[in-house]
């Protein structure tokens, strides 16, 4: 257990050395603890290696370096602040643990894996401050991992899914060290949003995660991975722009800034719903021996309790700020329906349920469900009768900011109970309902603590707790007429 008798400088002894943190808002916080060696030099494009041990007490008050990345492109940069911390040691994590005076042990642990399309984000985003979880008796750990081509580029002379290997190394660090911070290594919940949720789903599908977690949370992200041949195109285009072979040996000789510039040029201009060159997890035959969708439907991690859900209007974060909603007309909608093989009857149901909606709004609703809501419902159905319980939620409170509605990422400030932070307000506005944050945050705390967020687990009734607008409400089979239009939902 951490030495918490040292006033404002709590200490903990990890397997690599002692760390010294601080007490903030009544809880102890340790930032920038290395869980792996700096991924530079001979370790660039390699699997994570253990960090070098240190002597004395290492100061862990400030956030550690973030992975090389660029800010979100306008106008998303104003809605999703994404701080960058310089330095090479990006494989670090942060720990918030209940206040020093409690002296408790065996606490539940929640490990947070950030989103950002595998090219943005970090554990230093203020929205992810873990103080409220520690205040409520949960040890919160937030993790940095390699992004972009360094973390997820597909290369013939380097291990695949390096960013996912980083996350696995962080979970192993939690197993070996979290007791020193008051946490129970046998009560670990791993949670993520967007690309973080895709990562969590992949970890659940990987045999190497066995014994590292008891519960998981998927927020606005569904299981997904590609064969290496289908995923390497982005890496090859980046290498082509740089005029080098698409190998780890060649890219390792490229300066990080030049690599980032080429990466941004190749991946910019799209979004997770409309597409564009992007980075994806790959079925590598080792860490991911099988497609995560197939593995999870076949029973992988069937004993793990699972909480998952989506926001009602995920698409509005990408469609609305840049005016895409207005630019999509009836013809473009028809072409998209053909491209994605959306049955005509399904599209008619969505139109009927949204009288007066513009074609862009209809397409956004269809895309949200095709990519997120339908896969998560299918996963819940596949887990029916499994030893691990399954719970579904929907976040429906609409932000007044820029007509974004209940868009992607909006729930984060509610889950972390950080509505008062200016970076959270960039998306929520200044008057987001604290009572809804109280309810949503409490559900995540309760799930991490005992596996029950406070509503019935998934069964034939299809129970979903909807968080807003208004008070949380349990709804049975919400918009089931729409789900039935997607095969195999036609019951």
Geometric angle at alpha carbon 64, from 61 and 68, rounded to 5°: 160
314 catalytic per annotation:
yes
Catalytic residue among 114, 120, 408, 441: 408
Rounded to whole angstroms, how far apart are CA atoms 122 and 119? 10
Residue 38 near residue 49 (C-beta atoms within 8 A) = no
> What contacts 257, CB < 8 A, 6 or more positions away?
none
194 catalytic per annotation:
yes
Catalytic residue among 150, 193, 313, 314: 314
Catalytic residue among 194, 209, 220, 457: 194
Backbone torsions φ then ψ of 130, nearest 5 degrees: -95, 10
441 catalytic per annotation:
no
Rounded to whole angstroms, how far apart are CA atoms 189 and 211? 12
Phi-psi region of 338 (alpha: psi -120 to 50; beta: other; left: phi over 0): alpha
Of residues 118, 97, 72, 267, the one with CA closest to residue 174:
97
Interstrand relation of 183-193 and 107-113 (parallel, antiparallel or unpaired): parallel
Of residues 298, 280, 123, the one with CA closest to residue 204:
298
Question: How many Cβ atoms from other residues are within 10 Å of residue 461's Cβ?
Answer: 10
Rounded to whole angstroms, how far apart are CA atoms 300 and 282? 17
DSSP letters for 454-487: SSPPPSTT-EEEEE-SSS-EEEESTTHHHHTTST
Rounded to whole angstroms, how far apart are CA atoms 432 and 389? 31
Helices (H), 341-421: 344-353, 359-368, 374-382, 412-415
* Active site residue ranges: 194, 314, 408
């Amino acid at each position: 257990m951490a030495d918490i008798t040292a006033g404002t400088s709590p200490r903990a002894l990890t397997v690599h050395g002692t760390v010294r943190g601080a007490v903030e808002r009544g809880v102890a916080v340790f930032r920038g603890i290395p869980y792996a060696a700096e991924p530079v030099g001979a370790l660039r494009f390699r699997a994570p290696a253990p960090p070098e041990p240190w002597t004395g007490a290492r100061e862990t008050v400030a956030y550690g370096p973030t992975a090389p990345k660029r800010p979100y492109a306008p106008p998303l940069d104003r809605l999703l602040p994404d701080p960058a911390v310089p330095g090479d040691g990006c494989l670090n994590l942060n720990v918030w643990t209940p206040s020093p005076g409690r002296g408790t042990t065996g606490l539940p642990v929640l490990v947070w894996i950030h989103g950002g399309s595998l090219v943005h984000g970090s554990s230093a985003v203020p929205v992810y401050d873990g103080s409220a979880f520690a205040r409520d008796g949960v040890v919160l750990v937030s993790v940095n991992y390699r992004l972009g081509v360094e973390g997820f580029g597909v290369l013939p002379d380097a291990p695949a899914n390096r960013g996912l290997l980083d996350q696995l190394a962080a979970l192993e660090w939690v197993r070996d060290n979290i007791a020193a911070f008051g946490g129970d290594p046998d009560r670990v919940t791993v949670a993520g949003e967007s690309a973080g949720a895709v990562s969590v789903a992949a970890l659940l599908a990987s045999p190497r995660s066995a014994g590292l977690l008891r519960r998981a949370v998927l927020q606005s992200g569904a299981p997904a991975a590609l064969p290496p041949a289908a995923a390497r195109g982005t890496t090859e285009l980046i290498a082509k722009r740089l005029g080098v072979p698409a190998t780890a040996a060649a890219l390792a000789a490229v300066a990080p800034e030049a690599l980032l510039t080429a990466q941004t040029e190749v991946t910019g201009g799209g979004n997770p719903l409309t597409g564009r060159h992007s980075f994806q997890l790959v079925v590598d035959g080792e860490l991911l021996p099988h497609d995560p969708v197939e593995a999870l439907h076949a029973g992988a991690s069937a004993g793990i309790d699972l909480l998952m859900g989506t926001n009602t209007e995920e698409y509005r974060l990408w469609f609305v700020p840049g005016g895409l909603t207005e630019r999509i007309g009836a013809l473009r909608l028809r072409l998209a329906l053909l491209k994605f093989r959306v049955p005509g009857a399904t599209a008619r149901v969505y139109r009927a349920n949204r009288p007066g909606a513009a074609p862009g709004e209809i397409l956004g609703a269809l895309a949200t469900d095709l990519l997120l809501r339908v896969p998560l419902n299918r996963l819940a159905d596949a887990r029916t009768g499994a030893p691990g319980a399954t719970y579904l939620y929907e976040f429906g409170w609409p932000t007044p900011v820029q007509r974004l509605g209940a868009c992607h990422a909006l729930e984060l400030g509610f889950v972390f109970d950080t509505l008062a932070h200016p970076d959270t307000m960039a998306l929520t506005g200044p008057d987001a309902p604290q009572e809804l944050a109280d309810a949503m945050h409490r559900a995540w705390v309760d799930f991490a603590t005992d596996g029950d967020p406070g509503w019935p687990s998934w069964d034939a009734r299809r129970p979903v707790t909807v968080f807003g607008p208004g008070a949380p409400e349990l709804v049975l089979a919400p918009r089931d007429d729409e789900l039935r239009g997607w095969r195999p939902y036609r019951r």
